[in-house]
């Protein structure tokens, strides 16, 4: 049985009849031009947007799971957030434990893992965009949810933190979680297990990156010509 | 003092301040009472002191504390709801809605028919105003949009109140009653008014356990929903509680402005934004603030409560706006 099954997911004017099946323990990239429906699909899967069609997690309709239980099964990281109040970084991360009875389990380890020790007591509304994103990702890790939905997590990050986040996402997938993240940089697609291409509000293709991201499809969907060149290879020492 | 130290001493400090202000409020007035005579009055061993304490000062004091606690808690809830620290019952027009409801009840002559009429009319007026705010400025609305919605609503409700006032121009008694509500004050508050404002205690108790989910909501509705908060249900509870708190306070004291803005904001500056801590402190701190303002008004020769809170809150609001915009 697949872990995540989306059937005919439609959001009026934003997404049309998306069918998606993803196994457990995969790192999946959601790509597509601006306005193709990536964020909408992530929110619909996360039960945060009114939609037609159904989303099942191991056979259970996510829309009919009580909100608190769903908070333990899925988590969603927004593309950008403005914090209206100055909660400390630690306090925001510990919000990830809300659905677990606010037990603060593992918070210190996650703070260290996300390189946030020095920022732990800082108010979140004084952080840079990249730092805020790391806080949101840390909060998502704290939920221990088996389905992680991250909306363009790499966008505001510097190169080192982007690599760290990708490594973290890979570890989560290897631990058996399903991580779906939207992204723009197709050059990192080779790090992913599969790629879903959205075009004009519809799912265009889904499968391993090498099979899906063909020069023909890239030209058609993104209007770019793909060429393989030896580039700069970066890794964490 | 650091935030950590401030938060450790905040609750006992606020309770001590409130108790001190309560004893002061029982002692000062046209006939000052020493602590010993206050005690004798409370124990009813001194008849004159007992009459002053139990008939005049105690009901006014209790109403002041409940009004202050209600307005501050209501402001705190609205700020979390709208994710904007400038949201408050006065600025958004919810207080004006409550006042308009109460004034209409006086204007059409039904206010005296039952003890329930005024609070019910105030709640209806405040609920209508709240609904209008919800339509005009959704959650997460910008400061500008929120304030503009509040200006529009306050102007509209002021027109309703002025209309009722102009219609009852020939009745001195009704006009005086209406004016009382417009200026906001605690003069001549009796045990009847204490009973009217008492249900706010229930609203406050219901609010208490919502602190953590309010934290999550104040950082974004979708984020909160994703983390396990039933946002629709929470919002419904928050809006009903904050409206009822404002309306009941308005029904017994008239329009007392800026409490819902000043108190939560000052507490947030001192103790941080966590609502589990802020809810009880807003209730106690709001009570202490209104009681202190009432004492200042009494010391200044009978200055109305609404005037004192506006004299303090107005400049505070302008300072806040300057910092924020």
B164-223 tens-digit pLDDT: 888 877 788 888 888 877 888 898 889 989 998 999 999 888 998 999 999 999 988 899
Mean pLDDT computed over A76-88: 89
pLDDT at B1 over 60: no
> Look-up: residue for tokens 């402190």?
B281
Give the count of Cβ contacts less than 8 A between chain A and B: 71
Tokens of B95: 């207080």
pLDDT of residue B325: 47
DSSP 8-state code for residue A186: G
Q: Each residue of A7-41: pLDDT tens digit?
A: 999 999 999 999 999 999 999 999 999 999 999 99
Give the mean model confidence (pLDDT) for residues A45-54: 93
Q: Count Cβ atoms below 10 Å from residue B171 Cβ, excluding itself.
A: 14
Computed over every residue of chain B, the mean pLDDT equals 89
Residue A232 lies in a domain: no
pLDDT at B273 over 70: yes
Please count the other Cβ atoms lying within 10 Å of the Cβ belonging to residue B63: 25
- What residue segments make up the domains of chain B, in order of their start? 3-324
| Least Cα separation, residue B201 to chain A (angstroms) | 27
- Mark out chain A residues that contact chain B at CB-CB < 8 A: 43, 46-48, 67-72, 74-76, 78, 81, 83-88, 91-92, 95-96, 98-99, 102, 139, 143
Of the listed ranges A195-204, B131-140, B160-169, the one predicted with least confidence? B131-140
In this predicted structure, what is the pLDDT of residue A53?
95
In chain A, the residue whose alpha carbon lies closest to the alpha carbon of B142 is: A84
> From the CA of A102, how many Å to the nearest CA of chain B?
9
Pick among 3.60.70.12, 1.10.3470.10, 3.40.50.970, 3.40.50.1460: CATH of B3-324: 1.10.3470.10
| Phi, psi (deg, nearest 5) at residue A213 | -85, 65
* Residue A64, in any domain of the structure: yes
**Total-model pTM:** 0.90
Q: So what's the pLDDT on residue A234?
A: 73
Cα gap B180→B266, rounded to integer Å:
28
Question: Domain residues for A201?
Answer: 4-222
Does the residue A235 lie in any domain?
no
The predicted model gives B262-282 an average pLDDT of 92
Count how many domains chain A has.
1
| Domain harbouring A197, CATH code | 3.40.50.300
Are A173 and A25 in contact by the 8 Å Cβ rule? The answer is yes
A233 domain-assigned: no
Helical spans, DSSP H, in chain A: 38-45, 67-73, 89-94, 107-113, 129-142, 159-174, 209-212, 215-222
How distant, in Å, are the alpha carbons of A10, A160, B74, B87, B97 from that of B136?
A: 28, 44, 19, 13, 15
Inform me whether the C-beta atom of residue B212 falls under 8 Å from chain A C-beta atoms. Answer: yes
Chain B nearest-CA distance from A203, in A, is 24
* In-domain check, residue A230: no
Query: What span, in angstroms and rounded, lies between the C-alpha atoms of B26 and B49?
Result: 10
φ and ψ at B236, to 5 degrees?
-60, -45
Range name among A217-231, B54-68, B226-240 with the lowest pLDDT average: A217-231
**pLDDT value for A38:** 96
Evaluate the CA torsion angle B74, B75, B76, B78 in order and state its sign. Answer: positive
State pLDDT tens for residues B303-321: 999 999 999 988 988 887 7
CB spacing of B84 vs A88 below 8 angstroms: no
Per-residue pLDDT of A145-157, as tens digits, reads 999 999 999 988 8
3-state secondary structure of A198: strand
Across the interface, whether the CB atoms of B226 and A98 are under 8 A apart is answered no
Mean pLDDT of chain A: 92
ipTM reported for the complex surpasses 0.90: yes
């Amino acid at each position: 049985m697949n872990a995540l099954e989306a059937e005919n997911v439609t959001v009026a004017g934003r997404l049309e009849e998306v069918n998606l099946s993803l196994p457990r323990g995969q790192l999946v990239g959601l790509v597509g031009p601006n306005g193709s429906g990536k964020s909408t699909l992530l929110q619909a899967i996360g039960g945060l947007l009114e939609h037609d069609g159904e989303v099942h997690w191991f056979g259970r309709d996510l829309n009919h799971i009580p909100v608190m239980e769903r908070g333990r099964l899925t988590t969603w990281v927004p593309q950008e957030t403005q914090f209206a109040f100055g909660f400390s970084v630690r306090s925001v991360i510990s919000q990830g434990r809300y659905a677990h009875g606010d037990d603060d389990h593992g918070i210190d380890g996650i703070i260290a893992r996300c390189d946030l020790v020095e920022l732990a007591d800082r108010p979140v509304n004084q952080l840079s965009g990249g730092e805020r994103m790391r806080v949101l990702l840390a909060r998502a890790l704290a939920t221990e949810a088996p389905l992680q939905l991250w909306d363009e997590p790499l966008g505001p990050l510097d190169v080192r933190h982007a690599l760290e986040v990708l490594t973290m996402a890979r570890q989560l997938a290897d631990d058996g979680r399903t991580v779906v993240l939207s992204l723009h940089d197709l050059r990192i697609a080779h790090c992913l297990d599969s790629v879903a291409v959205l075009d004009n509000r519809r799912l265009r293709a889904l499968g391993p990156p090498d099979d899906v991201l063909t020069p023909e499809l890239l030209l058609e969907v993104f209007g770019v010509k793909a060429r393989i060149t030896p580039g700069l290879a970066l890794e964490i020492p | 003092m650091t935030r950590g130290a401030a938060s450790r001493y905040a609750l006992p400090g606020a309770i001590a301040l409130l108790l001190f202000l309560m004893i002061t409020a029982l002692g000062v007035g046209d006939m000052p009472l020493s602590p010993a005579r206050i005690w004798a009055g409370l124990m009813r061993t001194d008849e004159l002191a007992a009459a002053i304490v139990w008939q005049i000062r105690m009901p006014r004091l209790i109403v002041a504390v409940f009004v202050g606690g209600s307005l501050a808690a209501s402001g705190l809830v609205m700020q979390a709801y709208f994710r904007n620290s400038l949201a408050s019952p006065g600025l958004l027009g919810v207080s004006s809605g409550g006042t308009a409801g109460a004034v209409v009840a006086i204007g059409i002559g039904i206010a005296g028919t039952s003890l329930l009429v005024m609070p019910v009319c105030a709640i209806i007026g405040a609920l209508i105003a709240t609904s209008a705010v919800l339509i005009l400025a959704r959650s997460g609305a910008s400061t500008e949009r929120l304030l503009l919605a509040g200006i529009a609503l306050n102007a509209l409700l002021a027109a309703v109140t002025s209309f009722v006032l102009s219609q009852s121009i020939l009745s001195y008694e009704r006009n005086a009653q209406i004016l009382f509500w417009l200026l906001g004050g605690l003069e001549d508050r009796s045990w009847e008014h204490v009973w009217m404002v008492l249900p706010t205690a229930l609203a406050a108790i219901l609010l208490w356990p919502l602190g953590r989910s309010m934290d999550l909501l104040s950082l974004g509705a979708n984020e909160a929903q994703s983390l396990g908060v039933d946002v629709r249900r929470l919002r419904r509870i928050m809006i009903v509680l904050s409206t009822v708190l404002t309306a009941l306070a308005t029904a017994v004291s008239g329009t007392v402005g800026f409490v819902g803005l000043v108190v939560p904001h000052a507490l947030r500056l001192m103790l941080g934004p966590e609502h589990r801590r802020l809810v009880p402190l807003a209730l106690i701190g709001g009570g202490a603030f209104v009681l202190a303002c009432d004492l200042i008004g009494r010391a200044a020769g009978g200055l109305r409560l609404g005037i004192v809170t506006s004299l303090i809150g107005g400049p505070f609001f302008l300072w806040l706006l300057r910092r924020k915009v």
